[in-house]
Amino acid sequence: MVDPEWLLSNDEEARALRQVQAGRANKCWRVLHRVTYVERPALMGFGKDQRQVNNVDKASGEVLNYFDALEQDNDALRADLSDLKSQLSTLTAKLDSLLQNNDNKNS
């Protein structure tokens, strides 16, 4: 018995079987087919991922720590930017007063 979905798949053996079914199969192929392509029971738990979940927890912790560090850096940069803006406004005010004093002296 052959699974019809498998037979329509792009599997190499399925393509070979379709080619043979389209033509005339030799006796050797019939024996191979009967031995190899029988209906098999589902493999109970075979192929499941047996790796530890701890690796996922460790990786997610590292990602969270990375983003926490980025937030702290961002907060520090914002504080520095705020300080620079206040210093710039102070320097601009001083420059304006110096320019006005210079204009008053030249007038």
Residue 44 lies in a domain: no
Residue 49 lies in a domain: no
Q: What is the pTM of this model?
A: 0.41
Residue 32 lies in a domain: yes
Higher model confidence: residue 22 or residue 77?
Answer: 77
pLDDT tens digits, 77-106: 999 999 999 999 999 999 999 999 888 887
Question: Are residue 66 and residue 107 in the same domain, yes or no?
Answer: yes
- 88: domain range? 61-107
pLDDT tens digits, 49-66: 666 666 667 878 888 899
Give me the number of domains the chain comprises: 2
Residue 53 lies in a domain: no
Higher model confidence: residue 42 or residue 21?
Answer: 21
- Report helix angle 12-22 to 27-36, nearest 10: 140
CA distance 78 to 100: 33
